[in-house]
Structure 1
Amino acid sequence: MTNPLDLPFDTDEMLEGLRPWIETESPTFDAAAVNRMMDVVQHELAALGAITERIPGRLGLGDSVRATMPHPRAGQGGILLLGHLDTVHPVGTLARLPFRREGDICYGPGLMDMKGGNYVYLDALRKLLAAGIETPLPVTVLFTPDEEIGTPSTRALIETEAKRHRYVLVPEPARPDGGAVIGRYAIARFTLQTRGRPSHAGWQLSKGRSAIARMARTVAEIEGMTTEDCTFSVGVFHSGQWVNCVSSVCDAEVLTMAKTQELLDEGVAKMLALNVDAGDVVMEVRRGVTRPVWEPDQPGTMAMLGLAQEIAGEIGFEVSGASAGGGSDGNFTGALGIPTLDSIGVRGRDLHTLNEHIFVDSLTERARFAAALFCRLEA
């Protein structure tokens, strides 16, 4: 049998294959755009001989694609390749961040998080099939549309699917040192709204009660609660339409990250304590989607890490393992106790920015790594 480490992965070929993925922009809140991305991937999976299913979206979000790869035991539990195809970049970002290669770096919206990793792992499956290499376990692929907003519509789908499998691979971008994630901190989201009293800002300013002013003071209070082990970040702030009006409504969104469930519970209590339902300006705080703590050092995951380190050593790089913040759908599968290896995708920098890029040499490096993982994970 051909050694999976010797499969003919080609950087230029992979970049050419990635181009339509990146140039099909797919921001989470644009369901039609996400579904165009799902079309691209579903076609590629079908061309590999996979049995594909389109799972309709919920909550106004895009669809999911599930694919059963060719295998004598296709459809049975084995390895789940889990990734998301939504990005944080709105349609039109390509005008400012076009897909392009400059030497050892390649740029593009969503290339690092996480279309690059998804593509690499599919290319590994493509090359394994072309070489006639049968993986010990059958592989199922699940691509979802809403990870960037906390997975509000597909968590149940992910958890149900993951429970059928022995292992879960999540090709989110690698950690800064190139290492994998073997545990994740908890993440909670909150929506906030202040409601005040409108007035004409030039004529009767004193009669108004500004929702913006109250929210601004609260933003400073919230971010001031941040510690090394439990952080608070206000990432969305919306209010006002006319500068000559005292704004009566202001909306904000907050992300809390905590290293332990106890710290998360404390953080949630602090946020909910900000509710004020009386007075000139009221504050309403609602808890949104939550990612559970994925505790590190679970035996099954650590065994996967050991195998990954062995494979990486044969290729010529190192893979460390650590818990991390940021959140991913690996939170769900890891919290269920299913052996999960996360952040095993491409290496790069500046995800979620207009400088998002990957290191080109990580494409073939991670493809060989992925192919070997598919071939050495056994029941």
Structure 2
Amino acid sequence: MDHMSLPFDTDEMLKGLKPWIECESPTFDAAAVDRMMDLAAYDLAAAGAEIERIPGRMGFGGSVRARFPHKDFGKPGILISGHLDTVHPVGTLEVNPWRIEGNKVYGPGIQDMKGGNYVSIEAIRQIALAGLETPLPVTVLFTPDEEVGTPSTRELIEMEARKNKYVLVPEPAKPDGGAVTGRFAIARFNVRTRGRPSHAGWALKDGRSAIAAMARKILEIEAMTTEDCTFSVGVVHAGTWVNCVSSSCEAEVLSMAKRQEDLDKGVEAMLALNGEENDVVVEVTRGVTRPVWEPDDGVIAMYELARDIGKEIGFDLTHGSAGGGSDGNFTGAMGIPTLDSIGVRGAGLHTLGEYIELDSLEERARLIAGMLLKLK
């Protein structure tokens, strides 16, 4: 018996996945993420794993590490690395509820990346039920903070990766269904402008608006974008009263580059914005960074194995480097063979129309099962 004859059942997978989607788990709500970790821990244990719960820190939820029984238990094997946080606030289910329409299954976080995480567990469960043993021991690590750059669990992921020979990341497949074999570098920045408060009605000229200064700064930052390094401002917070000239404004900036040297130049340009203009102080500080991950022979060998398994299943798995960070950036940049984005197909991640393709549940469960049975 091999991965092709495992009895994956799409209806059964939908039944198991639905509670995951209906347990909303936005990164900034640690209690919500922990509820999701409870569900995952139960399903991992029911698939035969020994479970460890790792407490959260820095205000984030905790993590789950699951190790499956194996004759070589504790020796280097395969790490499946996934995150259970989503970008969608609690209440998004009202706008994008769990529903099945034709070949589409909707819900917040279903594509990024609860669907891929769930089918990974299902692959392991079906292997165990069939009485098969993977050549290498398998560990699953689910973390709570990938959507904000993994500030609280990077060391945990990197240390777990060091203990293993291979890393599989079931992030959503690329639009053509392809896998990711490299990722661009990403840096985050926090920008603050500090002005001078005054009454906006009778003493406007006495004030120095931190909001107005930030508005100019945002245009300046986004104008720094080139083919080699992009800059975008995604979050702005300021002001409490419309009749007060705002004395403080905060923004978050994301920068992405295909090469580390271009990102390093971008970091330099951002930090050079520190200073004072028109009595308004501009402060730029570094946030979390993801290193460039460039594929090596180990990554390409993993991809070729996955492509062969895909052909047996009936599809052609493409590959390439991608923008948008993932925890694969860390393990890939460490030189540990990593195959990313082998999760479910779908579209609309990070939007209110997020969905997966129903028939990709079985396809991806079979792909992951094949990888687990063939990686040596």
Q: TM > 0.5 between the two?
A: yes
Residues 192, 284 of structure 2: 8 Å contact kept: yes
> What is the rounded CA distance, in whole Å, between the counterparts of 1:278 and 1:267 in structure 2?
21
- 1:243 paired with 2:242, answer yes
> What is the rounded CA distance, in whole Å, between the counterparts of 2:95 and 2:176 in structure 1?
28
Residue 362 of structure 1 corresponds to 360
Instruction: After superposition, give the CA deviation of every residue in 1:78-114 in whole Å (9 maximum; x if it has no partner).
Output: 0000000000001111111111110110100000000
Residue 321 of structure 1 corresponds to 319
CA offset at residue 295 of structure 1?
A: 1.1
Residue 66 of structure 2 corresponds to 67
> What is the rounded CA distance, in whole Å, between the counterparts of 1:123 and 1:229 in structure 2?
40
> What is the rounded CA distance, in whole Å, between the counterparts of 1:236 and 1:120 in structure 2?
33
Residue 310 of structure 2 corresponds to 312
Map 1:176-325; keep pairs closer than 5 Å: 176-277=175-276, 279-296=278-295, 298-325=296-323
> What is the rounded CA distance, in whole Å, between the counterparts of 2:252 and 2:325 in structure 1?
17
Instruction: After superposition, give the CA deviation of every residue in 1:149-185 in whole Å (9 maximum; x if it has no partner).
Output: 0000100111011001110000000011111110100
What is the identity percentage for the equivalent residue pairs of Structure 1 and Structure 2?
69
Residues 171, 343 of structure 1: 8 Å contact kept: yes
Residues 53, 67 of structure 1: 8 Å contact kept: yes
Q: Which amino acid aligns with 1:146?
A: D
Q: Provide the secondary structure at the position in 2 that maps to 1:282.
A: strand
Q: Provide the secondary structure at the position in 2 that maps to 1:293.
A: coil
Q: 2:348 aligns with which of 343, 347, 350?
A: 350
> What is the rounded CA distance, in whole Å, between the counterparts of 2:53 and 2:227 in structure 1?
42
Residue 124 of structure 2 corresponds to 125
- 1:15 paired with 2:11, answer no
TM-score, with structure 2 as normaliser: 0.99
Residues 116, 345 of structure 1: 8 Å contact kept: yes
Instruction: After superposition, give the CA deviation of every residue in 1:127-149 in whole Å (9 maximum; x if it has no partner).
Output: 11111110000000000000000
> How many aligned positions are there?
376
> What is the rounded CA distance, in whole Å, between the counterparts of 2:256 and 2:68 in structure 1?
36
CA offset at residue 229 of structure 1?
A: 2.4
Q: Provide the secondary structure at the position in 1 that maps to 2:123.
A: helix
CA offset at residue 228 of structure 1?
A: 2.4
Deviates more, 1:200-209 or 1:330-339: 200-209
Q: Provide the secondary structure at the position in 2 that maps to 1:250.
A: strand
Residues 75, 140 of structure 1: 8 Å contact kept: no
Residues 43, 121 of structure 2: 8 Å contact kept: no
Residues 328, 340 of structure 2: 8 Å contact kept: yes
Q: Which amino acid aligns with 2:60?
A: L
> What is the rounded CA distance, in whole Å, between the counterparts of 2:203 and 2:229 in structure 1?
42
Q: Which amino acid aligns with 1:154?
A: T
> What is the rounded CA distance, in whole Å, between the counterparts of 1:229 and 1:358 in structure 2?
32
Q: Which amino acid aligns with 1:351?
A: L
Q: Provide the secondary structure at the position in 2 that maps to 1:83.
A: strand
Q: Provide the secondary structure at the position in 2 that maps to 1:29.
A: coil
> What is the rounded CA distance, in whole Å, between the counterparts of 2:277 and 2:256 in structure 1?
29
Instruction: After superposition, give the CA deviation of every residue in 1:269-323 in whole Å (9 maximum; x if it has no partner).
Output: 1100111146510000000110001012x01000001101101011110111101
CA offset at residue 74 of structure 1?
A: 1.9
Residues 82, 170 of structure 1: 8 Å contact kept: yes
Residues 300, 339 of structure 1: 8 Å contact kept: yes
Q: Which amino acid aligns with 1:81?
A: I
Residue 153 of structure 1 corresponds to 152
Q: Which amino acid aligns with 2:247?
A: S
> What is the rounded CA distance, in whole Å, between the counterparts of 1:243 and 1:354 in structure 2?
31
Unpaired runs of 5+ residues, structure 1, are none
Residues 81, 140 of structure 2: 8 Å contact kept: yes
Instruction: After superposition, give the CA deviation of every residue in 1:258-277 in whole Å (9 maximum; x if it has no partner).
Output: 10010000100110011114
Q: Which amino acid aligns with 2:337?
A: P
Q: Provide the secondary structure at the position in 2 that maps to 1:44.
A: helix
Q: Which amino acid aligns with 1:103?
A: G
> What is the rounded CA distance, in whole Å, between the counterparts of 1:186 and 1:64 in structure 2?
25
> What is the rounded CA distance, in whole Å, between the counterparts of 2:226 and 2:130 in structure 1?
51
Residues 211, 248 of structure 2: 8 Å contact kept: yes
Deviates more, 1:6-15 or 1:326-335: 6-15
Q: Which amino acid aligns with 1:119?
A: Y
Residues 48, 125 of structure 2: 8 Å contact kept: no
> What is the rounded CA distance, in whole Å, between the counterparts of 1:75 and 1:221 in structure 2?
52
> What is the rounded CA distance, in whole Å, between the counterparts of 2:116 and 2:43 in structure 1?
15
Q: Provide the secondary structure at the position in 1 that maps to 2:86.
A: coil
Q: Deviating runs (4+, > 6 A) in structure 1? A: none
Residues 347, 362 of structure 1: 8 Å contact kept: yes
CA offset at residue 75 of structure 1?
A: 2.4
> What is the rounded CA distance, in whole Å, between the counterparts of 2:300 and 2:169 in structure 1?
15
| Aligned residues: CA RMSD | 0.9
> What is the rounded CA distance, in whole Å, between the counterparts of 2:102 and 2:346 in structure 1?
14
Q: Provide the secondary structure at the position in 1 that maps to 2:275.
A: coil
